[in-house]
Structure 1
């Protein structure tokens, strides 16, 4: 298997969608979004089907999307958890919460523009008079946005939704920051571009197995069922990793949050000795790890060791949250790629 991962000739035959380039294009994707956002101008008011929608400071934010189009909202909620008192909710369903009104900002995200659940949320949102913002590449959502001059970000075509994570996350961050008059952390995003370009040099296909943390981690997960644990503000990253295992690797994977899992899920390890050979725990960690969470994870590690279950700690090297977030996403994406 080691030799296979270092054999550069096999990748074009297996990677027919060229996911490698899409993962490695994350730094350029950030630059693309930053450039596009320079031209974003929010209207004071628009009229959609006779209903007036006025843009201003929202009382709450609701992000509607499904699958890969929803994950950006989950990650964004983690990024903004300690930065705003405005509640942010992610809806992966047909119906937004009943409380949305003209003081709500509803962000509708659908890569295809034709996602049934998201379009249904649009209908409810139009009735409420909520401020609308759309993120899409095409389809019915784009047609509605263009017809009624609804502010929107057009995602470049050619991505599977799971690979368009930058395009499905950063425009929402920008619009929320603009309406709430918050700093957009442009310098941190530019530093993130540098961070990701540096990371690429250590996890590229050309980097030999022994020196490539993504290849080594992938090897440890081979023929295993991943059980993923993480905590705020890295919960969205953990959930995304679960879905990347599902979609990229076509394997089962499971995700739980700490400390919630300490009140239920952890009990499952009491009788899993017979399954220890097929399970592998992945713990996603970062600089925002509190003392309480650290102690909980220490206990979890000791429990796993007593049950003979192997685990991986995946950490970020960055010291700022936006950098950590996208560094972990790129690294974990490459682990699922290998």
Structure 2
């Protein structure tokens, strides 16, 4: 058994350290040429026979032999992203960007040339061409959305009592807020909390069950039907939506409605769909300082936005660095605890919808009872990039379990990265990991040369069901 790959700690409780790219010898240039050749679908052999002395006037011809001539601002440009995506679809190693950066550093030293390297995620043209609807900007607005949503939450009246349970209805991007709420409340809330992603409600739902019905569009079939079923048995409800049939039904029944701003993809509206539920339950948590928890969480989110946004260069941006490691591989996102499991699921869903890639997710220690065995398929395992979502402080037994799993199961993985939550409060820790993953998912899409916003398969399935 080969040793597990070294862990790259992409994000810690402190600021992300600056790690300058290493300066490698001339073979880095040759590997870069090989990368460019493979972008064009050529064979695995290096198509470039770089001469020992390369006059600057020959450089454009050298580049054009591997692909279209590149603009003078660098060896890599957003125009080349479709080629990079082609290379990754064929399952080839995803080190082209690194090789190009190394070549850009080495060539001036070897040949006296000035070739600035522009990482594609640092190039404004990447966002203009591939993100016309502004998903990257929506992710960056997460802290501001959270502040607006919290103000709306504080205006909600306390739920009628007495209550015996809380149920959250929601699908997809509208339902993940329920998963996060259940994880947030589990250690401190006196009542059971259930998340329902179906058209039916459990048999225990009744007049003493508080129901949150979450649907961004207001027309999600499963959520609308489940809401109707809950009202038939007399359950009080709070509706969180931007409009649609659900808002109409709530108005008729006299249920309070939290109005979500329209025009946002549901997955990008998470603060509006999640935080009002937290605020609505604050009266049932007299010993939990939810106001203080949100104040800390908001400060953490604003700090993260300043570290992970599109304007922060890749060499100082941990989210961009992690996206580089995931592209062309199968991401497997593992939560260190069951409380972080909804965050791992959020990462997986965002990689699906924004990044347009398949992804796995699971949590410790449940994965040690099943998925650990799946890593025996070493051929597939070599294409998996592991991401571990961890707490800043963990029980020694958990740390030993994760270390043992790395050695036994992840030894064949392409890479292992850790993302460590920020903050003291549970709300800050959950949301810091969510925001990090949202940034990563958008950067994965852009590195693959795809627009992160449209979701054609979802739209097509809905169209066929309507037909």
TM-score by length of 2: 0.67
Work out which of the residue numbers 238, 250, 256 in structure 2 matches 1:133.
Answer: 238
Question: Which residue pairs with 1:30 in the alignment?
Answer: 146
Higher Cα radius of gyration: 2
Change (3 A) 1:148 1:306: closer
1:236 corresponds to 2:352: no
Change (3 A) 1:70 1:288: farther
In structure 1, the gaps of 5 or more residues are 44-54
**For the residues of structure 2 that align with 1:221 and 1:138, how far apart are their CA atoms?**
36
- Which structure: greater strand fraction? 1
Contact 1:72/1:165 (8 A) holds in 2: yes
Question: Which residue pairs with 1:51 in the alignment?
Answer: none
- The equivalences for 1:1-338 within 5 A come to 1=97, 3-42=119-158, 55-179=160-284, 181=286, 183=288, 185-230=290-335, 231-270=337-376, 272-287=377-392, 289-338=394-443
Change (3 A) 1:93 1:308: closer
Cα displacement string for residues 106-139 of structure 1 (whole angstroms, at most 9, x for unaligned residues): 1111111011111111121112111211111100
**For the residues of structure 2 that align with 1:134 and 1:178, how far apart are their CA atoms?**
18
**For the residues of structure 2 that align with 1:185 and 1:194, how far apart are their CA atoms?**
14
Contact 1:101/1:130 (8 A) holds in 2: yes
**For the residues of structure 2 that align with 1:306 and 1:35, how far apart are their CA atoms?**
47
Contact 1:64/1:106 (8 A) holds in 2: yes
**Secondary structure of 1:318's match?**
coil
Question: Which residue pairs with 1:48 in the alignment?
Answer: none
Question: Which residue pairs with 1:49 in the alignment?
Answer: none
Cα displacement string for residues 136-173 of structure 1 (whole angstroms, at most 9, x for unaligned residues): 11001111122232112111112111001111111111
Contact 1:58/1:179 (8 A) holds in 2: no
- Kindly state the Cα deviation for residue 291 of structure 1 after the two structures are TM-superposed: 3.1
- Kindly state the Cα deviation for residue 79 of structure 1 after the two structures are TM-superposed: 0.6
Cα displacement string for residues 238-297 of structure 1 (whole angstroms, at most 9, x for unaligned residues): 000000010001110111121111111100112x22123321111111136333322221
**For the residues of structure 2 that align with 1:226 and 1:308, how far apart are their CA atoms?**
10
In structure 2, the gaps of 5 or more residues are 1-96, 98-117, 444-467
Aligned length: 326
TM-score by length of 1: 0.92
Contact 2:168/2:213 (8 A) holds in 1: yes
Contact 1:79/1:321 (8 A) holds in 2: yes
Please give the root-mean-square deviation of Cα atoms over the aligned residues, in Å.
1.7
**Secondary structure of 2:349's match?**
helix
**Secondary structure of 1:249's match?**
coil
- Kindly state the Cα deviation for residue 183 of structure 1 after the two structures are TM-superposed: 3.8
**For the residues of structure 2 that align with 1:99 and 1:191, how far apart are their CA atoms?**
36
Higher relative contact order (CA closer than 8 Å, sequence separation 6+): 2
Question: Which residue pairs with 2:61 in the alignment?
Answer: none
**Secondary structure of 1:105's match?**
strand
After the TM superposition, list the runs of 4 or more consecutive aligned residues in structure 1 that deviate by more than 4 angstroms.
Answer: 179-182
Question: Which residue pairs with 2:84 in the alignment?
Answer: none
